[in-house]
Amino acid sequence: MTDPAAAAWHRLAETSVLLDGFHALKHALRFGADVPLAVTTDREAALALATELAPDVRDTLDALLTEVPEDTYRSFVPRPHPTAVAALAVRPAREANLQKLAHTPRSAPVIVLDNPRNLGNAGAVIRLAAGFGATGVVTTGTLDPWHPTVVRAGAGLHYATAVERLTIDELPSGPVFALDPEGDDIRSLKLPDDAVLAFGSERSGLSTELRARTDHLVALPMRPQVSSYNLATSVAMTLYHWSTSTTAPL
């Protein structure tokens, strides 16, 4: 006899976003994700975790979680999570995200990752953007910002900000501040709320196309002979600098 949860999972999986682990599911629910199916190998343990760490979504999880055998759970995920929780969520409509990115006036910047290469880095940036209340995260190039590895690294916080892949020509309006070692020291600048904050590829930096769109090159303070910061670190430093001068609430 086919397990109803397994049948439902396989029916939904190809068109849904995988939320891998308790924390990804918790965050997605907090920010309004539509989650048609969530499973765990141990309902009691998952609900105890919710009681301790996320009582605001505990009742929702109680109604949502289905307990499945461990072998069934492992067949759903590429790499079992220590919390043994997984869920499938509906991806936000692209049109809705584009409207959020295009809406003006903006009260928080848009982050642009120009041709990023590392899935984990992209997820870490989305998590940062959500924490700072950024309007959204845009990627250019071939990396899919909704790849399961990106969603896992982002801890489900794709649902807290607008995440889309666009071309350079499709970027939202607003002054573009691009990070570059030859730019002006960021400490001498005030980043406006409607800024588009652009970060180059981990390998090759800013593309020619993005440089042509840039209004201001900005540099982070760095000790001589240190070649670069990690991408997520650069985004965190830049967003923190923006947050110190903004009046917009997080």
pLDDT digits (tens, 9 = 90+) for 86-125: 999 999 999 999 999 999 999 999 999 999 999 999 999 9
Q: What's the pLDDT tens digit per position in 171-228?
A: 999 999 999 988 999 999 999 999 999 999 877 789 999 999 999 999 999 888 887 8
Identify which of 233, 91, 241 has the alpha carbon closest to the alpha carbon of residue 162.
Answer: 91
3-class secondary structure for 154-193? CCCHHHHCEEEECCHHHCCCCCEEEEEEEEEEHHHCCCCC
Q: What's the pLDDT tens digit per position in 48-97?
A: 999 999 999 999 999 999 999 999 999 999 889 999 999 999 999 999 99
> Two tokens at 183?
């730019």
Q: What is the pLDDT of residue 164?
A: 98
pLDDT at 1 > cutoff 60: no
